[in-house]
Amino acid sequence: MQQPDTAQVKRYLLELQERICEAFTELDGQAFVEDAWQRPGGGGGRSRVLADGRLIEKGGVNFSHVFGDGLPASATAHRPELAGRRFQAMGVSLVIHPHNPHIPTSHANVRFFIAEKEGEAPVWWFGGGFDLTPYYGYEEDCIHWHQVARSACEPFGEDYYPRYKQWCDEYFYLKHRNEPRGIGGLFFDDLNTPDFDTSFAFMRSVGDAYMHAYRPIVERRADMPWTDLQREFQLHRRGRYVEFNLVYDRGTLFGLQSGGRTESILMSLPPVVRWSYDWAPEPGSDEARLYSEFLKPRDWLGA
């Protein structure tokens, strides 16, 4: 069986972080602040944050590589075969919260996990994806986002995009609110077939596609004016983002339970947010249209 090349994966992830940060610095005009950190239990990371930029109110692009002799409960609850194994987990995770309510929030991550035990074959897999959370709905943005997602999947098989789109729709869903977080994209996990090289190539395809999906949307919406009401709606919808990340997100749970750096793990949270009691949009408004036409699973590509 082909052995995973962890050094090759780490090189790619560090290079991906570099490329994405350079692209956002070019868009925004402001550089990221870097913060290197060490994990007491083993490993560390490189957090990069951009705050109060021209376009980005808060954005973070994090690389982490943590390892240790035992896994947290979140990792072994559904995979008991991992108990007692040494592990490595590495990945790039990013969230961009723009100032302008017409520019969606975006999230992406790609990651690799391996657990090893002497005398036994390693257990490994890739995961990741990207998803979009608009505050005001623009069909051309949603179609473009999903076109890039489909193109990233096409070299690997016809079933990749519909399968991982559906998984994304189902994963980024707030059960207690009975609503999706956004318009989806791709989500995959536990990928280790047919072999390491193919799985790694797919993860790279997803990671490389993110800026192709997001940058044109940012550029299209960057100069649109917005009102106080639209800003208030953006802050209200950000509350849903916080709820998902703190209640359901696997990465947040794994990071906290594995002793990761809390400041970096919670980097994904927006800087300003609001919760209004029993709030509802005005019927027929653009805010209501987001719920009725965009916050629902859709076949954006008419396949």
The pLDDT tens digits for 141-158 are: 999 999 999 999 999 999
Looking at residue 76, what is its pLDDT?
Answer: 66
Residue type for 299, please?
D
193-229 pLDDT, tens digit each: 999 999 999 999 999 999 999 999 999 999 999 999 9
- Residue 259 marked in a binding site: yes
CB 109 within 8 A of CB 129: yes
Q: Are 111 and 89 in contact (CB under 8 A)?
A: yes
What positions carry a catalytic annotation?
107
List of domains in the chain: 6-294 (3.40.1500.10)
Residue 174: in which H helix or E strand, if any?
Answer: strand 173-174
Calpha distance 188→248 (Å, rounded): 16
pLDDT one-digit tens code per residue, 219-249:
999 999 999 999 999 999 999 999 999 999 8
Q: H helices then E strands: how many in the chain? A: 9, 9
Q: Is 110 annotated as a binding residue?
A: yes
Residue 176, annotated ligand binder? yes
CB 300 within 8 A of CB 87: no
pTM (2 d.p.): 0.94
How far is it, in rounded angstroms, from Cα 187 to Cα 171? 8
Contact 97, 59 (CB under 8 A): yes
Amino acid 36: pLDDT: 92
State the pLDDT confidence band at 254, using cuts at 50, 70 and 90: confident
Inter-axis angle of helices 6-28 and 196-221, nearest 10: 10
In 52-147, the DSSP E strands lie at: 56-68, 86-98, 105-116, 123-133
Instruction: State yes or no: 251 annotated in a binding site.
Output: no
Tokens of 222: 């960057």
First CA to last CA distance, the chain? 37
- Residue 212 assigned as binding residue: no
Give me 220's structure tokens. Answer: 């299209």
The size of the chain, in residues, is: 303
